[in-house]
Each structure stands twice: as structure tokens, then as C-alpha cells.
């Protein structure tokens, strides 16, 4: 399922670690497309299949078909954004808290070891969705600084309908301090979202294309750009030059 890029990259490769297929597009699709266009190899890891909790055991056959369809959608979306690879794991959807954090972190570590990213993008700690929070924790563990570790920069993205709805005081609110101008790649983000057509909703749902565009415009306006994606900087390490 993984297609590895052999293209040398100017500033290290990039890893996106998201819980469910479509989170990667909603959270940082425009940024991924921009970084890919700038020559960086962008690798995507999707941890849960995005279907298990909805369909249940009784409809296992239907669930398998839906998982396969979402896998195909994830690869189509990745191709639209110019990602070098898209990998899907099968952690239980909306039940990742039932898995040992160590097991999730080890899966992320293996991915990081394979691709050696300098930049990692993942979920914010304060999301309503439990899988998002687990993935945030696992990435934080897997990317903790150690001598010689490849990851220099950690960014946390927002996912509409989850990041904004964690109860107040349950976790730090999403207060972005890192903005990436995406006016050149917003259409690619919307096209990639279209690959997940079954996940999209009608406006005014926050996952509707119109709301996704409006958020990009608002995040852009916050930073003086036409369109942007917003992040919280988790960590930035600046090693010695050379």
C-alpha cells in the first residue's frame, strides 16, 4: 500500500499522521500540496480505518467494502495533493483508547523510521474525537527529541467538527500560532476532499466544501493571507548549521 519516493528532497521529508481517512485533507491538505509542489516528499499515515464503529460486526462484509473504498479514496486524495505515499493502518475506529498507547506509538515510530521526516503534522491535543487525541499522544511520544532524531518540527492541525468542540477546560484550546498560505493549493485541497465524497456534508455543516473554503479564508484573513491553514507549533528544534 506504500509507494516510496526516491526523489531527493530539499529540506527533508514531511510526515502527516492522522487518525481517519479525510482528516489529513481537512487538517493540512493545502499545506501538503504546497510542500509537495516545493519538492518535499510528503508521506501520509492514516491510523484507523474510519468505518469500524459505524457499521459494527453484523455488517462486517459491508464494513470491509467501505474500508476498501475509503482506502481507495485516501490514495486518490494523496495523488491529488502530490503526496509521495499514503499508508493505512487498521486500528479500531473511534476506539483507539482501547489500544495500548505504546502500540500506537510504535506504529508511528516505525513510519518515522522509514521516512525520516524533518516535519511532522498531526492532530491537536484538544479534539473531541478520542482517536485524534490518542494519535496526538502517540506522535508526541514517537517524535520526542533524542540525539540524532530526524524530527525537527512538530505542527498540530485543526479538524472541523472536532477541534472546536472539546469542552472548555478539558484541554488547551486550539490557539493557532503558525499559518501557511494556501491560496495556490486551496483548490487541490477541495479536489482531494471531493475524493472522499461520501464524507462530505451540505453547508452549513463544518465538513461541507463551502465551510472548508470559508475556514481557509478566515485563517488566511487572520494572518493577512488570501487563504491559509492554521496550526499550533508543538516544537521547533534548530540544530547547528551544517
Residues engaged in binding Zn ion (CB under 5 A): 19-20, 23
Q: How far is the CB of 50 from Zn ion (least distance, A)?
A: 7
Q: How far is the CB of 59 from Zn ion (least distance, A)?
A: 21
Strand partners, 179: 230
Pick 111 or 196: Cβ nearer Zn ion: 196
The answer to whether 159 and 126 have CB atoms below 8 angstroms apart is no
The answer to whether 75 and 22 have CB atoms below 8 angstroms apart is no
Pick 19 or 216: Cβ nearer Zn ion: 19
Interatomic CA distance for residues 219 and 241, integer angstroms: 32
Pick 33 or 48: Cβ nearer Zn ion: 48
Q: How far is the CB of 18 from Zn ion (least distance, A)?
A: 7
Pick 131 or 181: Cβ nearer Zn ion: 131
Query: Between 186-195 and 60-81, two packed helices, what is the crossing angle to 10 degrees?
Result: 160
Distances (CA, A) of 38 to 83, 116, 147, 238: 12, 18, 28, 21
Residue closest to Zn ion (Cβ): 20
Q: How far is the CB of 30 from Zn ion (least distance, A)?
A: 18
Amino acid at each position: 500500500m506504500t509507494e516510496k519516493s526516491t526523489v531527493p528532497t530539499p529540506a527533508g521529508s514531511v510526515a502527516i499522521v492522522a487518525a481517519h481517512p479525510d482528516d489529513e485533507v481537512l487538517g493540512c491538505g493545502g499545506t501538503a500540496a504546497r510542500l509537495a509542489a516545493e519538492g518535499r516528499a510528503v508521506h501520509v499515515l492514516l491510523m484507523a480505518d474510519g468505518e469500524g464503529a459505524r457499521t459494527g460486526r453484523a455488517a462486517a462484509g459491508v464494513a470491509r467494502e467501505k474500508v476498501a473504498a475509503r482506502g481507495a479514496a485516501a490514495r486518490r486524495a494523496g495523488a491529488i495533493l502530490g503526496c509521495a505515499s499514503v499508508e493505512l493502518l487498521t486500528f479500531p475506529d473511534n476506539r483507539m483508547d482501547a489500544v495500548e498507547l505504546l502500540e500506537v506509538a510504535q506504529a508511528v515510530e516505525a513510519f518515522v523510521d522509514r521516512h525520516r521526516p524533518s516535519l511532522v503534522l498531526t492532530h491537536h491535543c484538544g479534539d473531541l474525537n478520542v482517536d485524534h487525541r490518542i494519535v496526538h499522544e502517540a506522535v508526541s511520544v514517537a517524535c520526542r527529541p533524542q540525539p540524532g532524531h530526524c524530527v525537527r518540527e512538530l505542527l498540530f492541525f485543526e479538524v472541523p467538527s472536532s477541534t472546536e468542540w472539546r469542552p472548555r477546560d478539558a484541554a488547551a484550546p486550539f490557539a493557532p500560532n503558525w499559518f501557511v498560505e494556501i491560496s495556490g493549493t486551496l483548490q487541490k485541497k477541495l479536489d482531494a476532499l471531493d475524493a472522499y465524497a461520501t464524507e462530505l456534508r451540505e453547508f452549513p455543516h463544518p465538513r461541507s466544501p463551502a465551510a472548508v473554503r470559508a475556514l481557509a479564508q478566515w485563517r488566511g484573513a487572520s494572518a493577512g493571507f488570501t487563504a491559509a491553514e492554521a496550526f499550533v507549533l508543538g516544537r521547533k528544534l534548530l540544530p547547528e548549521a551544517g
